[in-house]
Structure 1
Amino acid sequence: MMADTLPAVRGKLTADAPLAPLVWFKAGGNADWLFEPADVEDLAGFLAALDPQVPVMGLGLGSNLIVRDRGVPGVVVRLGKTFGRVDPVDEVTLSCGGGASGILVSSTARDAGIAGLEFLRSIPGTVGGFVRMNGGAYGREVKDILVDCDVVLRSGEQRTLALADLGYSYRHSDLPEQAIVVAARFAGHPGEPQAIQAEMDRISESREASQPLRTRTGGSTFKNPEGARAWELVDAAGCRGLSRGGAQVSEKHTNFLINTGEATAADIEALGEDVRARVKAHAGVELEWEIKRVGRT
């Protein structure tokens, strides 16, 4: 796909763009094209004019993601600063850009005296990502706070979707695969900033104590099966510290895979499959990936 076959944009288009620096695992191949739109209209116009056969994928902070070593075909869309605003709408509601981080959303909620959004402090991603996957932690999920969201469909059409339109279930939504979430509204309830900060501190300390946050990791690897915890199943199957190439199951939290330094994306994905096979053999449970794996196989 040559540059002269792509629609004109006001944002930034980069050919053969390395994605490893943009994802938490720091591994994987390049995107055929990386598009950082100037604004929503730039994104919508580009998608409307782009050949419908060209695949499109959104990229947030790259936390729950394995980018395969042979790269990602088509166009990867990354929302920049234009999409990073978070503003109070009323006493209990925030309007958030699709590129805003969970930390920024929760901190803005605290400053506005809006409680109930503290758990977003612990989700290592952007609004666009955790709206798509119904991100959650500490007993709360995006479905508990979402009012509605603005998306740009692969056709370039802009739509506002209500909570009921998203078909949320555990770590899943019915959003069309190539749609890009560009904004969302979240609602909480009135609270005292000091109490909100105390809850955010509690969550932060809990994560620090239990998760390998200072490593090259991808966050929670597998979904919790019904009535069980993925990390307990992985541990019971003898996978703590298990390795393949430069990838390893974390000693600190067994539902985290880590890149010890030189892991390829293939190492990380294959290690995950090793873990799934061991858990299936030990407990008869088929673990489902929570981390999204993208790119050419």
Structure 2
Amino acid sequence: MSAGAAPIDTQGLRGKLTPDAPLAKLVWFKAGGAADWLFEPADRADLELFLQRLGGRLPLMPLGLGSNLIVRDGGVAGVVIKLGKPFAGIDVEDGHVLSCGAGAHGILVASTARDAGIAGVEFMRGIPGTVGGFVRMNGGAYGREVADVLIDCDVVMPDGALVTLAAADLRYSYRHSQLPEDAVVVGARFQGQPGDPAEIGAKMDAIGDARENSQPLRTRTGGSTFKNPPDQKAWELVDAAGCRGLRLGGAQVSEKHTNFLINVDDATSADIEALGEEVKRRVHAHSGVELEWEIQRVGRQQDRS
């Protein structure tokens, strides 16, 4: 699909606006279509100006590492906002507070906290994503989640207005917030507590080792596919339904961790999503449990006409 003429006057913008921008290279599955438009702002003021000019005329989708995402083969309508290095800063503030840009990787947040003797955010070592994504989705790992440590977050609304939302405003639940879809998280503050760097580092190493030993990290994957049902593990339900190693097209259920789907042979996003739906069907037939997607699925189905 051609995006056509630029949706706004770009004079004075310092970021990069790209039409028909391929997204496969920006997501972990390495599959999917193009964005009608991809905007990579130079900084927060640049993003605010862009959204003010856009005036809500097109849908928006923020994109972080693309780790928990299926971009459908027909691409994404409107504008994808990619926050890069200008949004990746981390500052240590008084009171064991970490002030982080939305583009900061979870590993870097945890490492910065360790070096500053701040405990309580070690779990971010195990989240494959950036601050913006796991603030929006209440990301978590190894017994903790963002809701446990978030103080507040800075958000640019679709009209370009910057607002600060307290954690309570996001009304967190398991892997979900009530943040408006078109809002773009640009920063967040997390509350830690004093800790010993060596002990913090040991916890982070344990998390890293656990991920390495149990998850297919060196494959084209999207992270945890399904939410854990109450008092159950999604991977156990998938395994019990006989789905370990199940293939559809170029997509496969990981044999190492059955709550991961992997792109093993140039899978399309349609392959990956259809495999997930087949897993859901088999799990429901076997155990009566209706699994819910944890991976976000966005965009248009491929037009096959």
TM-score over 0.5 for the alignment?
Answer: yes
Work out the CA distance in 2 between the residues paired with 1:178 and 1:209: 37
Q: Deviation per CA, 1:225-262, whole angstroms, max 9, x where unpaired? A: 11111001000111000010000000000000000031
Q: Counterpart of 1:100 in structure 2: which amino acid? A: A
1:151 deviates by: 0.2
Q: 1:283 to 1:77 in 2, by over 3 A?
A: same
Q: Which residue of 1 aligns with 2:40?
A: 36
Q: Partner of 1:290 in structure 2?
A: 294
Q: Which amino acid counterpart does residue 156 of structure 1 have in structure 2?
A: G
Contact 2:124 2:140 in 1 (8 A): yes
Q: What corresponds to 2:92 in structure 1?
A: 88
Q: 1:38/1:214 Cα in 2 relative to 1: closer, same or farther (>3 Å)?
A: same
Q: 1:221 aligns with which of 225, 236, 239?
A: 225
> SS at the partner of 1:282?
helix
Partners in 1 of 2:208 and 2:7 — Cα distance? 47
1:6 to 8, 31, 50: 8
Aligned to 1:189: 193
- Give the deviation of 1:203 after TM superposition: 0.3
Give the 3-state SS of the residue equivalent to 2:223 in structure 1.
coil
Count of residue pairs the alignment pairs up: 297
- Letter of the aligned partner of 1:148 in structure 2? D
Alignment-derived partner of residue 137 in structure 1: 141
State the AA in 1 paired with 2:246. Answer: L
Q: Distance in 2 between matches of 1:181 and 1:52?
A: 16
SS at match of 1:5: coil
Structure 1's 112 and 272: CA in aligned 2 closer, same or farther, altered over 3 A?
A: same
Q: Is the 8 A contact 1:91 1:112 kept in 2?
A: no
The within-5 A match list for 1:127-166 is 127-166=131-170
Structure 1 CA distance, aligned partners of 2:265 and 2:81?
27
168, 172, 192: which is aligned to 2:172? 168
1:241 paired with 2:245, answer yes
What is the DSSP-based 3-state SS (H/G/I as helix, E as strand, rest coil) of the residue aligned with 1:33? strand
Contact 1:109–1:117 (CA under 8 A) maintained in structure 2: yes
Q: Would you say 1:123 and 2:127 are equivalent positions?
A: yes
Deviations 1:42-64 (A, max 9, x none): 11111121142311000000000
2:201 counterpart SS class: helix
Query: In 2, distance between residues paired with 1:51 and 1:140?
Result: 37
Give the CA deviation at 1:91. 4.1
Q: TM-score, normalised by structure 2?
A: 0.96
Say if 1:67 and 1:295, in contact at 8 Å, map to a contact too: yes
Instruction: Supply the distance in 1 between the matched residues of 2:103 and 2:190 (Cα, whole angstroms).
Output: 14
Whether the 8 Å contact between 1:151 and 1:159 is mirrored in structure 2 is yes
How far apart in 1 are the matches of 2:99 and 2:133? 16
TM-score normalised over the length of structure 1: 0.98
Whether the aligned pair in 1 keeps the contact of 2:55 and 2:159 (CA below 8 Å) is: no
The one of 245, 257, 267 aligned to 1:263? 267
Match of 1:47 in 2: 51
Identity of aligned residues (%): 71
**Amino acid across the alignment from 1:177:** E
Q: Secondary structure at the match of 2:280?
A: helix
Q: Secondary structure at the match of 1:13?
A: strand
SS at structure 2 position matched to 1:252: coil
Runs ≥4 residues deviating over 2 A: 1-5
Please give the per-residue CA displacement for 1:249-276, whole angstroms capped at 9, x wherever unaligned: 0000000000003100000000000000
